[in-house]
């Protein structure tokens, strides 16, 4: 009697099966990558809006607690690849002291000295604050008639900025007769004449200084 032996037959994938699997992987990637990028961009806008709101709230609280004006500066900066394409990309808080409270006067007007409260904070990813594009005003809190503007020397470079202030009673020096807000969007949308589909707005009450975030 012949002994029973087990034989195993290993079947390899055919070329058509491999091509089918690769096609499915490519299709899934084509669908998933744009969705992931869109999700990441949305996170950058949310984080940027929250950063701006946090800094504005800190400026208001500091002005009320310390009893001096706090200036909020928004800096026009380029990137390493496009240094001349200036967008509002950073924010920093400065306390404004009167001449009576200081010995020297290195910055500001003839009766003021400005001192930084904190470091510059940069918006995440490709998020920027929109200004005036093609005649449309998307951030009146940075482009209105009551806005301060100037330049600041940093590492040998002259950096332009726009700013407004919180007073010691918590109010701002923004125009109380018009809506005040900042609009964040992605840098690629900076030439738009209408708000893009993906944006975030930080609304500022010029009278009491309170803020809130709006998302479409």
Residues of the chain with pLDDT under 50: 33, 35-38, 101-109, 135
**Cβ atoms of residues 205 and 216 within 8 Å:** no
Inter-CA distances, 34 with 41, 145, 162, 179, Å: 10, 40, 35, 35
DSSP state of 174: S
Is 31 in contact with 69 (CB distance < 8 Å)?
no
Residue 23 has a pLDDT of 72
pLDDT of residue 216: 81
Structural domains of the chain sorted by starting position, each given as residue range(s) with its CATH number in brackets: 16-214 (3.55.40.10)
**Closest residue by Cα to residue 74 from 208, 195, 174:** 174
Q: How many CB atoms lie within 10 A of CB 187?
A: 17
- Estimate to the nearest angstrom the gap between the alpha carbon of 148 and the chain centroid: 20
Residue 11 confidence (pLDDT): 64
| pLDDT attached to residue 3 | 58
Would you state the pLDDT for residue 111?
77
Coil, helix or strand for 10?
Answer: coil
| Letter string b/e over residues 99-129, b meaning 16 or more CB atoms within 10 A of that residue's CB | eeeeeeeeebeeebbbeebeebeebeebbbb
Report the predicted TM-score, pTM, of the whole model to 2 decimal places: 0.76
Do 129 and 183 contact (CB within 8 A), yes or no? yes
Task: Determine the Cα–Cα distance for residues 33 and 30; give it in Å rounded to an integer.
Answer: 6
| Residue-wise pLDDT tens digits, 111-162 | 788 999 999 999 998 899 987 655 457 899 998 777 889 999 887 889 999 9
Q: Is 145 helix (H, G, I), strand (E, B) or coil?
A: coil
The region, left, alpha or beta by phi > 0 then psi within -120 to 50, assigned to residue 81 is: alpha
């Amino acid at each position: 009697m012949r002994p029973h032996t087990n034989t195993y037959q290993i079947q390899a994938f055919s070329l058509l099966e491999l091509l089918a699997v690769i096609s499915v992987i490519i299709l899934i990637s084509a669908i998933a990558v744009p969705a992931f990028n869109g999700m990441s961009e949305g996170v950058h806008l949310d984080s940027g809006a929250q950063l701006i709101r946090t800094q504005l709230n800190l400026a208001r609280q500091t002005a009320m607690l310390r009893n001096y004006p706090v200036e909020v500066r928004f800096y026009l900066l380029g990137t390493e690849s496009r240094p001349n394409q200036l967008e509002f990309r950073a924010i920093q808080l400065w306390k404004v002291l009167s001449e009576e409270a200081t010995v020297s006067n290195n910055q500001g007007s003839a009766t003021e000295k400005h001192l930084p409260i904190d470091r510059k904070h940069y918006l995440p990813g490709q998020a920027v604050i929109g200004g005036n594009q093609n005649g449309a005003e998307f951030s009146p809190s940075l482009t209105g008639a009551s806005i301060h503007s100037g330049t600041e020397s940093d590492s040998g470079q002259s950096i332009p900025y726009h700013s407004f202030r919180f007073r010691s009673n918590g109010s701002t020096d923004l125009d109380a007769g018009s809506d005040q807000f900042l609009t964040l969007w992605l840098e690629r949308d900076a030439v738009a004449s209408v708000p893009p589909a993906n944006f975030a707005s930080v609304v500022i009450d010029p009278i009491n200084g309170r803020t809130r975030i709006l998302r479409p």
